Amino acid sequence: MQIQNILQAQKEFSKTLNPLNIQFRKTNLEKLRELIINNQDFLCEAIYKDFGKSNFDTFTTEISFVLNDIEYYLKNLKSLSKPQKVKTNLSNQLGNSKIYSEPLGCILVIGAWNYPYQLSLSPIIAALAAGNCCILKPSEIAENTMKAMSKIINENFPAEYLYVYEGGVQETTELLTLKFDKIFFTGSTKVGKIVYKAAAENLIPVTLELGGKSPAIISNNANLEVAAKRIIWGKFLNAGQTCVAPDYLLVHESLHEQFLKILKKYIDKFKYEANSIHYTKIINEKNFIRLINLIDKDKIYLGGKYNNSTLYIEPTILTDINWNDPIMQEEIFGPLLPVLTFNDFNSMLHKLLELEKPLSAYLFSDDSKEKKAFLERFSFGGGCINDVIMHLGNKNLPFGGVGSSGIGRYHGKFGFETFSHQKPILERVTWGEPNIKYPPYSEKKLSWIKKII
């Protein structure tokens, strides 16, 4: 079946859905949950073929996120869908005001390869919870996971409700010519611009989850052991192929040598070795070559070894880095960790303000003034104080970028809102209305209008 025909079928099917039929949505979310649970081994096998991710990491960073999303919406769908009563101003009395959440219609979700289940299925789940029909275009770079999702979904859901469209750049380009009611994209800023431009041709609203160079700041008021342990875990999770991983470190110069030694200790302790079950390979040769070309051999403090045949790059720390180095010109998205130093906290923040707003930022400090300055002066998508990445695990927090790191947000209720139209309704009584807003006008009526408004 042609994808244009599938989209048309979804448009027709969406017209038959009762926007307030919560049970229909729950039934399909429960069905998806059971399919994921019953096919965990199949899903784990597929992602291992793509880039060697262990069952442990697949569950903790992929499947558990998806299952928790489903559980959240099953528990909260009734309250999220309920019309929200708001205050009615004086000029609209006697009346009542409510906001109704209605489905947008047909949604296109374009997933990413680095967390192919989480970053494809989490937005799909939010869109279905909000009452929409969906077409999912997973990333073709993680080919096996794309085929796994296609098999599970397309064999168990009607195409007019939920469909996985396989393919590469040509198929994605084709999808972007169609008139969806919303496009949700996760990926690079470069491709995000292409998606945004294509959506603008049809005035399609978009959510763009992009990336950027996310800093981790280690002040001279930080707990160094905790900072090093959490940074090493967050940076080298998925071999650094994480959009919210610490991209580079800013370390107070008085701690530089000491902190490097602690970082090395935890890299050694965690044993990120070739063929380790808790350390993945680089997704493909193109990304592998890009990464090794960023390694300046004269600036290697630790690591730097790699294997072309297995696409393995060991955790690598680079020092004596400056802002003009090639590795500081783009998001790294791999197991390379450049370390810069600073001697004045406020001057360092001022430098960050000159850069593009990152998707995430992290501060390690126990100083209240530094925390306050970090939160109030520095704009970024989201982040942590004294940790990294873990803010993604709280469904009560929105996830999304700002500026060049993205547009829009999701997770929890924010995902429901992203895929809904918030329709405002004022209902008035049909008796007791004064005539002051109707012609003929007079100075007396104007004086009353000024008091009311």
Catalytic residue among 160, 209, 314, 417: 209
209 catalytically annotated: yes
Catalytic residue among 133, 243, 314, 370: 243
Whether 252 contacts 218, CB under 8 Å: yes
**Angle of CA points 63, 68, 69, to nearest 5°:** 100
Q: Given strand 382-385, what is the order of strands in its sheet?
A: 300-302, 316-318, 336-342, 248-252, 215-218, 360-364, 382-385
Catalytic residues: 209, 243
